[in-house]
Structure 1
Amino acid sequence: MVRSPARNAELALLLEVAGTPKPGNVDRERDVDDLHFEHFLAGAVGTQKGLRLAAGGTPVGEAFEAAVAGMSDQSGGNTQFGCLLLLVPLVRATTQRGLAPESAAHVVEHTTVADAADFYCAFEHVDVYVDDPPEDMGTLDVRRGSDAVPELERRGLTLYDVMERSAPADGVAAEWVNGFERTFETADRIESGQGPVTDRAADAFLALLAEEPDTLVAKRHGRETAREVRERAAELHEESERADRDDVREFADELVERGVNPGTTADLVAAGLYVALERGVEL
């Protein structure tokens, strides 16, 4: 049975949250405060309309807002906003030009001011954690939602322009401007891994966390905490080939207790899972 790109994107969201242990993140063994495993399941299913729009050629911003609106139709809040910011252009690239880094880059580089406006409107559907903007960017604070659209239009900023401005401090935005490099590397890891795909996804999560500080952790808890988390993940990743997962589970529980959530890393895993599924990885 061949799944459509929209279905593979939904499945990627489901597989991402089912993988365990993922230090600090919701998975099938862990909830975080009022955000639970079932909220992620419901959020993933709710994205289907927006993902189908992306596959059918609807502009990236419009498809993204529709996916976020569907995702938010559950009581937990923001479950997969960052994931969708990667998946929507990847789905669009798959059906438009074929799934490859250069086609994904082409899709995002050709986004428009209207796409940026829809992206801003998506923040009205769900509460997303963002940093305070620099003083000279206050009128473009994404938390203003549609109120910021006139300023976007006045400046002629496309969605790619918005991501380019955010990329130095945001790992998802960095994927947009760096050709989805880490996404495709994650897909390679998942394809070459062993065992169930959910285990491979959890292994990829730890590997990504070991490589670079998670930008959401840096925003919410500071760069020192993000470095500390990366260093601990690197130690565990180095040991993981010969050890069982008990130490990783302890680390996962510790981060949940501290409220440290490497959400950007989870976004990259979801995107990597989508690419791996489109390439034919077997479940």
Structure 2
Amino acid sequence: MTDAPPPPAASDVDERLRDAFVAACHDELTALKPGNVHVHAPGHRMTVRDFEVSAAAAAPHLARKGASVGRRVRDAVAATAAAVGTNTNLGIVLLAAPIMVAAEAGGDLRAALGDVLGSLDVEDATLVFEAIRIASPGGLGAAPEHDVAAPPTVDLRAAMAAAAHRDQIARQYVTGFFDLFETGLEVFDSTKLWAVAEDVRIAAVYFSFTSGFPDSHVARKHGAVLAEDIMKEFQTFKQYLHPFDTEALLAFDADLKRRGVNPGTSADLTVGTMLLARLR
């Protein structure tokens, strides 16, 4: 078990950012997300409680005033590992850290996020590589370049660029979080016209990712072919979002979990979208 880093003093934590992160994590858990953990069903030996504890452990480190992206990621992941003993939120933390730094800077959030991503350095990469080693995400394996097992030789954005073709979260660092702004937020806003409850809107955000891209986590664990097939299954099941068919979606959820399929990256992108929605 990883030793938890000392929690920052209360005066060093931006309460607005801390609370927004915890709320965004809670938002995502309320939605029926087939294959992933949610309030309607656990999965993959994880429960809603695991994610709630993880959010609480990570939040003060992510909201630490003046901290770099790398420091926020490393300390949040280490605190999570010490609290729950498993990787529940590496992807979430990697998305949240630059958003938090941008929100702390103020002004237009998307523009500030671009500035944050453009200023990432080798020290950020060093700390993020350490965080990834702590989390030990399933299916990580060795990388042809900028392997996290070795010290980085480039800044964090360059390291992410090398992985962007195979990892949706790395791609956000290269594209200025394009998928969250142009897919996630767009769906969250547009579904307000017909969705009767916010958890349905959040489920629609999740489906926008699972049906729009082969999920990176599924591809790492099960291969590109199955990831493509799962994306097509989600395209078929989108019909049950409007009107919302709980029974059909829970059956799909149970089937995916029986097969050991977890579109975890799409869930991470959903949390990132909800964080943007709360902070924009």
Q: TM-score range by the shorter chain?
A: 0.7 to 0.9
Say whether residues 1:110 and 2:108 are aligned partners.
no
* Alpha-carbon separation, structure 2, partners of 1:204 and 1:80: 18
Shift of 1:7: 1.4
Superimposed CA distance per residue, residues 225-277 of structure 1 (whole angstroms, 9 cap, x where no aligned partner): 11111111111213432452322211111111111110110111001001111
CA-based RMSD of the aligned residues comes to 2.0
1:211 alignment partner in structure 2: 212
Moved over 6 A (4+): none
Please list the CA deviations of residues 160-182 of structure 1 after superposition, one character each: whole Å capped at 9, or x if unmatched.
Answer: 11111110000000111111111
The two structures have a TM-score, normalised by structure 2, of: 0.87
Distance across 2 between alignment mates of 1:238 and 1:45:
35
Is there any run of 5+ residues in structure 2 with no aligned partner, and where? Answer: 1-14
Question: 1:111-136, CA deviations, whole angstroms, 9 ceiling, x for partnerless residues?
Answer: 111111111111343331243334x5
2:120 is the counterpart of 1:119: no
* Match runs of 1:52-91 below 5 Å: 52-53=63-64, 56-91=65-100
1:27 alignment partner, one of 38, 48, 58: 38
CA contact (8 A) 2:53 2:84 kept: no
Say which SS state the counterpart of residue 206 (structure 2) adopts.
Answer: helix
Q: 2:189 aligns with which of 177, 188, 191?
A: 191
Task: Give aligned-pair identity as a percent.
Answer: 26
Query: Which residue number in structure 2 is paired with residue 38 of structure 1?
Result: 49
CA distance in 2, matches of 1:79, 1:5: 20
Structure 1 unmatched ranges of 5 or more: none
Equivalence for 1:161: 158
8 Å CA contact 2:120, 2:155 repeated in 1: yes
Are the counterparts in 2 of residues 49 and 70 from structure 1 also a CA contact under 8 Å? no
> How far did 1:105 drift?
2.1
TM-score (norm 1): 0.86
Q: Which amino acid aligns with 1:233?
A: F
**8 Å CA contact retained: 1:216, 1:264:** yes
Which residue in the other structure is 2:167 paired with?
Answer: 170
Q: The residue matched to 2:82 in structure 1 has which SS?
A: coil
Counterpart for residue 129 of structure 1: 138
- After superposition, the C-alpha distances for 1:143-175 in whole angstroms (9 at most, x for unaligned) are x3xxx22xx2xx3x1111111111000000011
Q: 21, 36, 59: which one pairs with 1:9?
A: 21
CA drift at 1:64: 1.1
CA positional deviation for 1:52:
1.6
**How far, CA to CA, are the matches of 2:179 and 2:232 in structure 1?**
19
What does residue 30 of structure 2 align with? 18
Instruction: From 40, 45, 50, give the equivalent of 2:61.
Output: 50
